Amino acid sequence: RAKAEGRGMVRMFEPEMDERIHDQRMLQHDLQRAIDCDELELYYQPQARITGEIYGFEALIRWRHPTRGLLSPNVFIPIAEECGLILEIGEWVLRTACRNAVTWAAPLQISVNLSPVQFRHDDLSTTVLQILMETGLSPERLELEITENVLVKDFARALQTLRSLKKLGVHIAMDDFGTGYSSLSYLQSFPFDTLKIDRSFISRLNTDHLTDAIVRAVIGLGRGLDVPIVAEGVETEEQRAFLAGEHCQNIQGFLIGRPQEIGDYADIVGIECKPQRSLRRSAKTG
């Protein structure tokens, strides 16, 4: 019976699995070329005070794949983590974001996401220091975003890494707060500079009283700990009003602005660079 079932399973799942594995291998192969051929890009999404004043940007990676179009990090970051390319990609992100931020007239914050693989790598703080020195970015302008899951395994070591990063003068944000597997006790051990409430909570605000209660409690937790909160994924004025009513300090989301090329935010950051897109357009017409 087991054999029959086994064969049934194979028949049911094999083609699909095969296709997925094949797809992953293709992407993995393409990813090395993406790094070598400059197909990776950073988009920037504004972070604002609850009043709307923009104080920083989060760098979000995209892959302009020659045949598949613009790919989301959710598609290729897991692959990069599996095959180790994430270290090279992560360093590129950090360097590119810092290089870009030093060209801004306004000394706004720049937030960069760290993969758990990067976070666990021995050289992380050396790499960050090197990039800060090389680009000349003031450390306090850089915020590194980690997720709760990096604290689950080997907490003592994670703490060491956080402290050595903190010594460089950079800020540390807890991303996707409330969705990980670690207990809240880590908040006693390390002073995070920001807690980012995950978008999944914000998207259900005003529709579900349990979600409202959780968001209210997290904002209260931030106040008690004296850690500013960023609400992620704010899309509507109703969500913003709820957060304002609870005295949430900061918001990020489509309501304020979508992730875009930095040129699209040139007036905010204070750069004269023309967006590449319009250069291309004028090249075509001219």
Q: Decide if residue 176 touches Mg ion (CB under 5 A).
A: yes
Q: Which is nearer to ligand C2E, 14 or 233 (CB)?
A: 233
Q: Decide if residue 77 touches ligand C2E (CB under 6 A).
A: yes
The residue whose Cβ lies closest to ligand C2E is 253
Q: Yes or no: say if 193 and 165 are a contact pair by the CB < 8 Å rule.
A: no
170, 233, 251, 265: which one binds ligand C2E (CB under 6 A): 233
* Secondary structure class of 165 (helix, strand, coil): helix
**At closest approach, how far in Å is the CB of 66 from ligand C2E?**
20
- From the list 20-28, 73-81, 151-159, 265-273, the region that binds ligand C2E by CB under 6 A is 73-81
Instruction: Name, in order, each residue with C-beta under 8 angstroms of 76's C-beta and a sequence gap of 6 or more.
Output: 27, 31, 63
Q: Decide if residue 235 touches ligand C2E (CB under 6 A).
A: yes
In the structure encoding, which two tokens stand for residue 261, read together? 């090329």
Instruction: Name, in order, each residue with C-beta under 8 angstroms of 42's C-beta and a sequence gap of 6 or more.
Output: 59, 60, 61, 62, 93, 96, 97, 100, 262
4, 51, 69, 74: which one binds ligand C2E (CB under 6 A): 74
Dihedral Cα 64, 277, 144, 256, nearest 10 deg: -120
Residue 197, beta-bridge partner list: 177, 231
**At closest approach, how far in Å is the CB of 59 from Mg ion?**
9
Name the nearest CA neighbour of 170 among 131, 118, 197, 221: 131
**At closest approach, how far in Å is the CB of 174 from ligand C2E?**
11
CA 159 to chain centre: 20
Q: Decide if residue 239 touches ligand C2E (CB under 6 A).
A: no
Instruction: Name, in order, each residue with C-beta under 8 angstroms of 38's C-beta and a sequence gap of 6 or more.
Output: none
Size of the site for Mg ion (CB under 5 A): 5
Q: Which is nearer to Mg ion, 177 or 265 (CB)?
A: 177
Residues at the interface with ligand C2E (CB under 6 A): 45, 60-61, 72-74, 77, 90, 93, 113, 115, 145, 175-176, 199, 232-235, 252-254, 259
